[in-house]
Each structure stands twice: as C-alpha cells, then as structure tokens.
C-alpha cells in the first residue's frame, strides 16, 4: 500500500451514524469495527466505533471513531475537510448532501479568484470546504 493522507475525525457516541452519513454523501465501502469486537462485548460503549474507514469510488478515504471511554472529547475548530476538483456536478452533489441538516458559512458560489467555493458545517459539527475549479483542458 502506498502512503496516504486523509482526515480522521473523532466523534462522541455517533461515529456509526456519521460514517454512514458520509457513505451516503460519497458512496463507497464502509468498514466499521466496534470496541466490543476487540474487548469486553458487555462493557459500556462496546457498540461504539473503535475505527471506521470509508473508501470511495472517487479515491477519497475518510476515517473516524468514537472517543474511547474515559478519554475527553475536544472538538476543534482548527481543521476542515477540503473537497476540490473540476467536476462541478459531482462536487455540487456532495455540497447539497453535506449542508442537509448543517449550516452554510460561505455559500457555494463564484469567488473573486474565479472558482466556485463554499464552506459549511455538517450536522455532526465537521467543517467542509468545497472548491470547484475550471476544468483543465
């Protein structure tokens, strides 16, 4: 396997719902493992997600997990997930799904640098930036 860089998002008891939501946005194969699969299946939080990975047909990889019991969850505002490219229809489709139940910070529209760009926070509190550039000829 070659090296890759991808977002890894921490959740609080809703990683399964969030990762299934992202599969609905991007499609692909979702693999989920619970804490109970690798420990005490009767322990509190055993059904929570220890590791989740979504691999999409477009080549995106998104990972996420629930915060383990006993660890503090500190959601940050210093990171966002960026989607960019020149397939306007595909990117607008992702945008429409991501903003459903979320909040738009910057509407997806043409910007002074020429691209369409928007920023939103999805219903799980994750920040997203979408940039649609002109097709490369």
User: Is it the case that residue 29 has pLDDT exceeding 60?
Assistant: yes
Query: What pLDDT, on a 0 to 100 scale, did the predictor assign at position 99?
Result: 98
Contacts 24+ apart (CB under 8 A), 120-123: 120/95, 122/21, 122/98, 123/21
57, 62, 66: which is closest to 82 by C-alpha?
A: 62
Tens digits of residue pLDDT in 103-130: 999 999 999 889 999 999 999 999 999 9
Q: What percent of the chain has pLDDT over 70?
A: 94
């Amino acid at each position: 396997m070659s090296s890759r860089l991808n977002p890894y998002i921490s959740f609080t008891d809703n990683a399964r719902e969030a990762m299934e939501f992202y599969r609905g946005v991007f499609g692909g194969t979702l693999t989920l493992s619970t804490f109970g699969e690798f420990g005490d299946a009767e322990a509190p939080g055993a059904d929570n997600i220890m590791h989740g990975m979504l691999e999409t047909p477009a080549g995106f990889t998104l990972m996420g997990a629930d915060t383990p019991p006993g660890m503090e969850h500190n959601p940050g505002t210093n990171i966002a997930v960026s989607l960019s490219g020149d397939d306007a229809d595909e990117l607008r489709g992702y945008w429409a799904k991501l903003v459903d139940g979320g909040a738009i910070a910057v509407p997806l529209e043409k910007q002074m640098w020429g691209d369409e760009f928007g920023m939103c926070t999805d219903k799980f509190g994750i920040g997203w930036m979408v940039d649609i550039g002109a097709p490369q000829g």
